Structure 1
């Protein structure tokens, strides 16, 4: 069985064989279906229908999503940020999602099962899902969204040296955010009267996101887990800082695995502030090891009450509230 296609990665699989030529009537129908979408969306759809080349699909998907998003939120889609959440960031509810799916089915001429939509939570999820459907590849595992409470519970790094406020992890990488509050201890001396986030700390934040991917996103054989006590930084290459980051800035972090063979894992990473590039790392390498997963004991079966046990009365104070109310 072929492997799921990572986001943004081209496949060597041939383009799908088109069932019939793309006629002028087809183009007219396509223009009508996409009449409320941008011209670039229509052109990408035409090229896909003529060639079957999946490289045109992301532009179609983004254009269709943009059609159903409120005008004041459409600017968020201009750079096609795969980490944008459909509900929280774009205000897309389940009914709107169905409208998007119906139009995508019509434009790209594919069929989507409603049950397959349950795990689509980000723009990246939608693009990867459609791409896999077109290429006839197995669908990737759904993205996991991790709040700070979960991150703190699983990470070996802890505050005040934990630089992730939230994160999402999928089979193809991880994304996270960290807000520079200005209260970080190292900003007291970096620099005098001019607090600036150290580039080394930004690199540390990317490394922490890579650690989280190893703990939450790595596909392992049954009964095995990555041990947090075995993950350590070993090296980095191609690090560039492009922007000063100061208190109030929200760092948007992303990492993708490049090579993965125990005991080494290598990632590429990037940090943005809004749409501005802040830092990149061409390679971040960590060492890691496996451990046996803990087997949770099965819960003991509930013991049924014997006939000799007397039911508790309201006078005992132990009667469930609903039962006491009904008996009053």
Structure 2
């Protein structure tokens, strides 16, 4: 089999990165030749830039490692996949889809790829969930779902919700002056607590929580300090205070940027687990006996059953009609 020459390999790499900014190819070549991991930042930024629109590139040029790929750059999942494929080809590494899901910021991507390039285990990250995963798990649905992303780390959960201005209740709250209701902000914190319970990340949860059993019971120490309007992004955070079936208690707060918007000293939810189903099947002889008993019971009590059925047809509540 004919081995590719060094010049041919370089030409292939140059063709692969031909639409990337200046310096990307040189950084990739240095990485290929010397395994210089310091070049990864230039490579990553160049590959991302190649897939962005002009207005997004301007945002990227002023970014830091905390820049979020989806929320701040407006990147969609298809674009992210194209970036991943090009990075894999350039760095000659394999990126796991499960690990990819938790890469939220540019800093996350750099740290992950640096570890992969060194042959090290990628850093452990908190679990992050996007709107599709949230909606598939939550009992809430639009237009009453106020979570767009959630990150769970130990006994804490952080979420985001951007006020679009299209929320149906803003038409009347208030006329020509839309203000996001404080009660809905507390509702959003409650939904974050619900999601935490459903993911079952806490060691205090001994089984899988049934979403149909979760209900709000109380909320204490609530204070609101800032008016929130369309365009604001709510950063929600809750932390477990204690969980003891059937109650779960959380502390929660909401910020917009660096401003503390509202907080609750205690949010209390009632919940229950899915019932445990006994897999033991009845023996055929027992089942046959049960069927025989059922037929006998049906025959012997036919008269009384008929009377009970007639009684059931009698209305239990009679509408009151006042006399003239």
Q: Please give the TM-score of this superposition, normalised by the length of structure 2.
A: 0.48
Q: Which has the higher contact order (CA 8 A, sep 6+)?
A: 1
Larger Rg: 2
Q: Report which of the two has the higher share of helix.
A: 2
